Amino acid sequence: MVRETARLGLSERWSLSRKNVNSPITVIYHASIPADCVAKEDLVEAARKLSEIYPVLSCGVDGASSRTPEYVYRKDLSSADVVKIVNLDKEDSLEQLVNRAVIQGKSYHVDSGALWEIQLHRVSSSTPPSPRDRLVLLIDHILCDGLGARNLFADLLGLLSGIPIPDQPDGLPARMDDTVNLKPALESTEPSIWSYIQPYVGSVARRLSSFLTSPPLYAPFPPRQQPGYNSVTAPQQYSHFDLPSSDLSALLSEGKKHAIPTIHPVLHIAAVIALYRATKSTTGLSFYSSIPISERNPSLGHPRSTGNYVTFHFSTDRINRSTIIWEHARGFSSTLRRPETKLVARQTLGKLDAIDGDHKEDDGPSGWEEHLKKVMSDSLGPHKLSLAVSNVGLMELPSTGKLAGEIQDVYFTQSASAMGGCAVLSILSTRGGSMTVSVSSKIGSLPAGVFEAFAEQLKPIVYAIARGDVGENTQAGDSIAGVPDI
């Protein structure tokens, strides 16, 4: 389908509003390649081809704070503008790289563009010289979702290897609003951002109840952030690990052995159990998580690498020390596979259309940013989601050309936002290679020490599942081989 309007769609506006309140979602892809095998001129040419194939990469947004923001092509943007060579005195950590990327993402000018860039990181003064460079793609969620960015990074690596990009639809990416039915049910059209972030309502109600009555059986998590916590300016912290291909295969096999056909529910329950154990709670906790559902479909005119085609399923996981891990994972897996889950996710996104109500065609400022500011200034805390778990699946790497067999350390990361999950998991796999997991979090969104304990639990739990050390009747509070006890 050819896009008939430059007006931003609902998902695109959701990302824009986050940028407008200074909490943009910057999507980051990273890989290491042999040193000096790619020159700046190669990257500039690749950027030119990408911008030609995906015109939205050459756009800014007019009327970004209005009720009618539109993509506008910026003729003065050149491919050289989006390519940066970063010379380093010493190789930095992934955490340092991502920290710089988040700062850089905040600096993008939404009106003039560009809202993306390609970086080549080189260690210029090491002895002996570093054998590898780092290739980094940064892109604002306004231009594409995480899956689209995965494909864009694959397109970039392919172009650098001499592999052409398949033909794509002309013009701006088709809007999800025009290609997927997002209309909410008639009884659910209240003009409130709370209706989009559905579980937040229940979270707030339970928090208020906890102050007025005896403690609930499952206390909501996270608790209220400390006084003075500023979710916009709070710095970020990171953790990451990789799972080799043999363990990745074993993880998938373990899931199937326990009647879970796909890997995402296994990763989700591993994250939830790791977070529960990290709290060292002796009672039950209720966790709220967002899980993106991709609607990207080439038969609907969606390009492979730009545009926003994601809805969200919100999950409530009530965990105590007696929770049977695999039984809980099967319940979550069953919910994800139900057709109504995708339908509700679409309708929930569609409720965003009510934010400006009958005034959405009028001149004047948008109401979206005010809604987000209310979420961030909530006296019960800006973060109602415990976890956001994004698994973009399998990324194809070049099998021919200059970079075939030469690409390593492929990671996908997203910045934690001012009103999103306390821990944001970004998961990526490569064919025949490893699965990489990165976790970002706003410092202060979780109680002191919980993020560090979560990182210490998550990797060993994933490995324990892959080894088969989490049995059919293993409970959340049990001792698990190789996993720190609670």
Residue for token pair 């608790």: 223
Mean pLDDT, residues 51-73: 96
Position 201 pLDDT exceeds 70: no
The reported pLDDT for the residue numbered 360 is 65
- pLDDT for 231-271, tens place per residue? 999 999 999 999 999 999 999 999 999 999 999 999 999 99
d(CA 88, CA 92) in angstroms, rounded, equals 8
The reported pLDDT for the residue numbered 198 is 44
Confidence of residue 358 (pLDDT cuts 50, 70, 90): low
Answer yes or no: are the C-beta atoms of 148 and 41 closer than 8 Å. no
Mean pLDDT, residues 66-80: 94
Superfamily of the domain at 10-177:
Chloramphenicol acetyltransferase-like domain (3.30.559.10)
- Please state the domain extents for the chain: 10-177, 216-467
d(CA 217, CA 321) in angstroms, rounded, equals 12
Identical fold between 10-177 and 216-467:
yes
Position 204 pLDDT exceeds 60: no
Closest CA to 462 of 273, 278, 328, 335: 273
Confidence of residue 371 (pLDDT cuts 50, 70, 90): confident
Position 189 pLDDT exceeds 60: no
The reported pLDDT for the residue numbered 126 is 65
Position 193 pLDDT exceeds 80: no
The reported pLDDT for the residue numbered 431 is 85
Count Cβ atoms below 10 Å from residue 106 Cβ, excluding itself: 15
- What predicted TM-score, i.e. pTM, was given to this entire model? 0.92
Confidence of residue 208 (pLDDT cuts 50, 70, 90): very low
The reported pLDDT for the residue numbered 127 is 66
- pLDDT for 51-60, tens place per residue? 999 999 999 9
d(CA 318, CA 209) in angstroms, rounded, equals 17
Q: Which of 101-115, 200-214, 290-304, 373-387 has the lowest mean pLDDT?
A: 200-214
The reported pLDDT for the residue numbered 206 is 45
Q: Looking at per-residue confidence, does 143 or 2 come out higher?
A: 143
The count of residues in the chain is 486
- pLDDT for 270-300, tens place per residue? 999 999 999 999 999 999 999 999 999 999 9
Mean pLDDT, residues 324-334: 97
3-state SS record for 8-70: CCHHHHHHHHHHHCCCCCEEEEEEEEECCCCCHHHHHHHHHHHHHHCHHHHEEEECCCECCCE
Tell me the sheet residues that pair with 135. 31, 120
Confidence of residue 212 (pLDDT cuts 50, 70, 90): very low
The reported pLDDT for the residue numbered 357 is 74
- pLDDT for 217-235, tens place per residue? 899 999 999 988 999 999 9
Answer yes or no: are the C-beta atoms of 412 and 29 closer than 8 Å. yes
C-alpha dihedral, 474 to 476 to 479 to 480, nearest 10°: 70
d(CA 149, CA 116) in angstroms, rounded, equals 10
The reported pLDDT for the residue numbered 195 is 44
The reported pLDDT for the residue numbered 380 is 78
The reported pLDDT for the residue numbered 480 is 97
Confidence of residue 318 (pLDDT cuts 50, 70, 90): very high
What integer best gives the mean pLDDT of the chain?
91
Mean pLDDT, residues 406-419: 92
Tokens for 125? 């003064």
Closest CA to 248 of 271, 264, 259, 231: 264
Position 191 pLDDT exceeds 60: no
What's the fold here for domain 216-467? Chloramphenicol Acetyltransferase (3.30.559)
Answer yes or no: are the C-beta atoms of 87 and 124 closer than 8 Å. yes
Confidence of residue 199 (pLDDT cuts 50, 70, 90): very low
Tell me the sheet residues that pair with 475. 324
Mean pLDDT, residues 443-461: 97
